[in-house]
Amino acid sequence: MSADALLELRGVDVAYQRRGHAPVRAVLGASLAVRAGEIVGLVGESGCGKSTLGRAAVGLVAPTSGEVRFSGEVVAPIGRRARPVGVRRLQMVFQDPYASLNPRRKVGEQIADAVRLGSGAGVRADVALARVPELLERVGLSAQIAHRFPHEFSGGQCQRIAIARVLASDPRCIVADEPISALDASAQAQVANLLAAVAQQSGLGLLFISHDLSVVRKIAHRTAVMYLGQIVEVGPTDAVWSEPSHPYTRALVAAIPRPGAGSHLPTELPGDVPDPARPPSGCRFHPRCPVVMDRCRTDDPPVVEVAPGWESLCLRSVARDGP
Ligand SMILES: Nc1ncnc2c1ncn2[C@@H]1O[C@H](COP(=O)(O)OP(=O)(O)O)[C@@H](O)[C@H]1O
Ligand SMILES: [Mg+2]
């Protein structure tokens, strides 16, 4: 896809096998690249496969086909063996900051552990601990809190601690899966802005998964829109949000201006996301599409290059001229 990609997914499929049921094809032929210094937003309704794609990107779930590469190396699913140091530079931030921290260890110790793990080579415990104050300050927390335990903090503060711990391993790319959706409204924008700022300051790649479209619009350079396992549109955030090409993106964008409408769709888009175990024929979006044509019910939609670096998976999408 692109020569300068830090994290690259090529034609990734992920199917969950369930006893006695048809497999759930949660991700289908997803291709996406994140470059150094770039923030890519991944949006879509709940159940569209965003978390599965994020987990495949860091090796937490194995693709059934396709490939994930990080700095050119294939990201092998995380097994019992330690990951190669190179791949440790790819880190994930999760939705629930309390669950991602160890409740029994002081936050400073957990951050120091991450310094040691991330280095691969034996960094002495005291050397690792000495880095803790700087890491806490980078996420807007006081160095004084290092000796406290996770339960003593709010969700927003805990997510900052989780981010400090991720930064401790000196990542080059971070995949953040709904990192703000479990936080109080007041903390959401702050934590999103913090993640974006630390990524930018250090030239990291950031894949920011969120159903909060207004936040993605604000921080992401590029936006990928997922529907029922597929990336249906991807392009520069400004272009995608101001003149969306795919009817699903148009529906999502129409939901943005209303305050608090981040997770709701406009009433023009009927129904729910279908069961990915029994997807619709042809275009997966056709049963809900306001501009459906006969061919959409039978034919797979083509990938249309709307403009360079901007693609839409829709029969109706057309290339646009000029800048
Ligand atoms: N471990 C699993 N086993 C079976 N199905 C799963 C599993 N995890 C997710 N799914 C299904 O895969 C689809 C995509 O889920 P997910 O990736 O969590 O979407 P999103 O993050 O966009 O809400 C959903 O239909 C979900 O029910
Ligand atoms: Mg999810």
CA 155 distance to own-chain centroid: 20
The vertex-235 CA angle with 232 and 241, nearest 5°, equals 85
Ligand 1 centroid to Cα of residue 296, in Å, is 25
Query: Can you give 215-248 as a three-state secondary structure string?
Result: HHHHHCCEEEEEECCEEEEEEEHHHHHHCCCCHH
The vertex-18 CA angle with 300 and 286, nearest 5°, equals 25
User: What is the tens place of the pLDDT at every residue in 125-169?
Assistant: 899 999 999 999 999 999 999 999 999 999 999 999 999 999 999
Kindly identify the ligand whose nearest atom is closest to the C-alpha of 25: 1
Kindly identify the ligand whose nearest atom is closest to the C-alpha of 226: 1
- The Cα–Cα gap between 223 and 241 comes to 9
Domain boundaries, the chain: 37-60+80-89+171-272
Ligand 1 centroid to Cα of residue 21, in Å, is 14
| Nearest CA, atom 5, ligand 1 | 16
Q: What's residue 285's pLDDT?
A: 96
> What is the 8-class DSSP label of residue 158?
H
Give domain 37-60+80-89+171-272's CATH number out of 3.40.47.10, 3.40.50.300, 3.60.20.10, 3.20.20.100. Answer: 3.40.50.300
Pocket test for ligand 1, best of 9, 16, 17 (most atoms within 8 A of CB): 16
- The Cα–Cα gap between 256 and 23 comes to 33
The vertex-253 CA angle with 247 and 255, nearest 5°, equals 115
Q: What's residue 118's pLDDT?
A: 80
Structure tokens at 221: 């350079």
What is the percentage of the chain residues whose pLDDT exceeds 70?
A: 91
Q: Give the residues of the chain that fall short of pLDDT 70.
A: 1-3, 79-86, 120-121, 256-268, 322-323
How far is the first Cα of the chain from the last one, in angstroms, to the nearest whole number?
22
Kindly identify the ligand whose nearest atom is closest to the C-alpha of 94: 2
Q: What are phi and psi of 32, to 5 degrees?
A: -160, 140
Residues 136 and 146: beta-carbon distance below 8 Å: yes
Ligand 1: which residues within 6 Å by Cβ? 16, 18, 24, 26, 44, 46-52, 276
Ligand 1 centroid to Cα of residue 47, in Å, is 6
Neighbours of ion ligand 2 (CB under 5 A): 51
User: What is the tens place of the pLDDT at every residue in 18-45?
Assistant: 888 889 999 999 999 999 999 999 999 9
Ligand 1 centroid to Cα of residue 66, in Å, is 18
Using DSSP bridges, classify how beta strands 5-16 and 65-70 pair: parallel, antiparallel or unpaired: antiparallel
Ligand 1 centroid to Cα of residue 63, in Å, is 14
176: β partners = 93, 208
